[in-house]
Structure 1
Amino acid sequence: MIKQKEANMALTAQTDHQMRIRLPADVKEWIAMEAERNERSQNAEIVFRLKQSREAQSEKAPSAENT
């Protein structure tokens, strides 16, 4: 299991892009608390929530068939 996790981390390091952002202190604290509660890294928590938001937005957008 550990070797698979290390392999995934190496692959992630090669394929993911980095982005520096500034967060208000209260948002940073909230992310830290939520990440701990969900047993994720803060990065993983942010990525998870952004993907959820993107998915919810795409569900609300009209499809090409309806236009």
Structure 2
Amino acid sequence: METPDKGAGTSVYLATSPEVKDASGLFFDDKQRRRELSEAGRSDALARQLWEVSKELVGVSTL
């Protein structure tokens, strides 16, 4: 687990750096290291399935 300062580093970097002002749809880790999302991470069908399972697990019927 990271310290709060280190954990916030990527969020602060993304919010303040002009280098990434136009970046969208990318995964950032450890500030500047970018990775493309996997196919599963871009899947609308899997996102819907995850949402349905999550609702069931927390006992929410509609949102």
The two structures have a TM-score, normalised by structure 1, of: 0.32
Judging by fraction of residues, say which structure has more helix.
1
Whose relative contact order is higher, 1 or 2, with alpha carbons under 8 Å and at least 6 apart?
Answer: 2
